[in-house]
Amino acid sequence: MSVSVLAALRTFKKHALIVLAVIVGFTVGHLVNANFYSDDAPVQPIEFSHRIHAAENEIPCMHCHVHAATSINAGVPSVNKCMNCHRAMPGVWESPEILKVRGYWERSEPIPWVKVYDLPDFVYFPHKRHIQAEVECQSCHGDVQEMDRVEKVSPLKMQWCLDCHKTREVENGRDCWTCHK
Ligand code: HEC
Ligand code: HEC
Ligand code: HEC
Ligand code: HEC
Ligand code: HEC
């Protein structure tokens, strides 16, 4: 074999290795993403733990999600709400995550939380009807009080709604116009 062919073969091998490394990189990255950062449990701008708030400190769900029983949306608390408690907690005032919260507060910016549960706009879902009928938060959202990061546990598919409406014998619960106005 001539020298030039050998050289070409070497560069080819080098390129093949790079290509292989890139493929392996992508695959590993994809698997890591799918397993640790799946869309079902998105990384939030602040590491807000429901376990610490709702379980360890027994803060009721509705203390923060104040609209759940009276409105279509349960809503997420404002930065002011966080500060109302955290201003009076010197113990964690300087912790890195609280410093981030204080940053949003000082800039008068809302915390850009990433939505976990999101229905298409053509579906009508009123929280209040469900809370008033005493359907527990956990039957749709799982054991949120045990989660350090909220994870989506329900598929939010039409059949999921219909199945529960059937079991609970909800009046008009399977008529199209109940959920599609
Ligand atoms: C101290 C305030 C606080 C308490 C108490 C609290 N939450 Fe939350 N909750 C939040 C904040 C802030 C978010 C947005 C950040 C996140 O998703 O972690 C949130 C997000 C959620 C979400 C996801 C919303 C979405 O994006 O789709 C659900 C579901 C939820 N909370 C349910 C509950 C339930 C059930 C309880 C009681 C067991 C509870 N929360 C108690 C503050 C609170
Ligand atoms: C009703 C009071 C209350 C409200 C409202 C509240 N928290 Fe807390 N938070 C606590 C308590 C209590 C702790 C536990 C502090 C400890 O371990 O000493 C805590 C802990 C934390 C921690 C962990 C701090 C650390 O580094 O150990 C973060 C981050 C946090 N809260 C963020 C938030 C955010 C963001 C909000 C608003 C969405 C919020 N909190 C609303 C009471 C509250
Ligand atoms: C019957 C099922 C069901 C029950 C019960 C329920 N939720 Fe939800 N929740 C949903 C669905 C579905 C969405 C998505 C709504 C959308 O995108 O329009 C949602 C969205 C949310 C959100 C995101 C913000 C919003 O309002 O869209 C929060 C926070 C939340 N729920 C908290 C709660 C809390 C707290 C309770 C109990 C007090 C509760 N939910 C009870 C099904 C339920
Ligand atoms: C875990 C059980 C459960 C699930 C899951 C559930 N629902 Fe319901 N839903 C109920 C109950 C119980 C009622 C009856 C409330 C009442 O009697 O006022 C109800 C009532 C309703 C109503 C009001 C019905 C009326 O007659 O006006 C709408 C709209 C609705 N649900 C939409 C949805 C949608 C959309 C979903 C899925 C995204 C869903 N529900 C999932 C239990 C559930
Ligand atoms: C209890 C609530 C509920 C009722 C009743 C209901 N739907 Fe839905 N529907 C949903 C939800 C939630 C979605 C969005 C999630 C999905 O695509 O499964 C949806 C999605 C759809 C879609 C879009 C499907 C797609 O693949 O994108 C169509 C079309 C539809 N519904 C038609 C109907 C018709 C027709 C009826 C009456 C026979 C009906 N729905 C009754 C909750 C409901």
Tokens 């009123």 belong to 126
Among the listed residues 84, 59, 62, the one whose alpha carbon sits nearest the alpha carbon of residue 75: 62
Instruction: Give the pLDDT of residue 21.
Output: 57
Instruction: Give the pLDDT of residue 39.
Output: 80
Integer Cα distance of 33 and 31 in angstroms: 5
Q: Is 60 exceeded by the pLDDT of residue 5?
A: no
Residue 1's pLDDT band, with cuts at 50, 70 and 90, is very low
Closest ligand to the CA of 147: 1
Q: Is 90 exceeded by the pLDDT of residue 19?
A: no
Ligand 5 atom at minimum distance from 159 CA: 18
Q: Distance from the CA of 48 to the center of ligand 2, in angstroms?
A: 8
Q: Is 154 a pocket residue for ligand 4 (Cβ < 6 Å)? A: no
Instruction: Give the pLDDT of residue 67.
Output: 95
Q: Is 179 a pocket residue for ligand 4 (Cβ < 6 Å)? A: yes
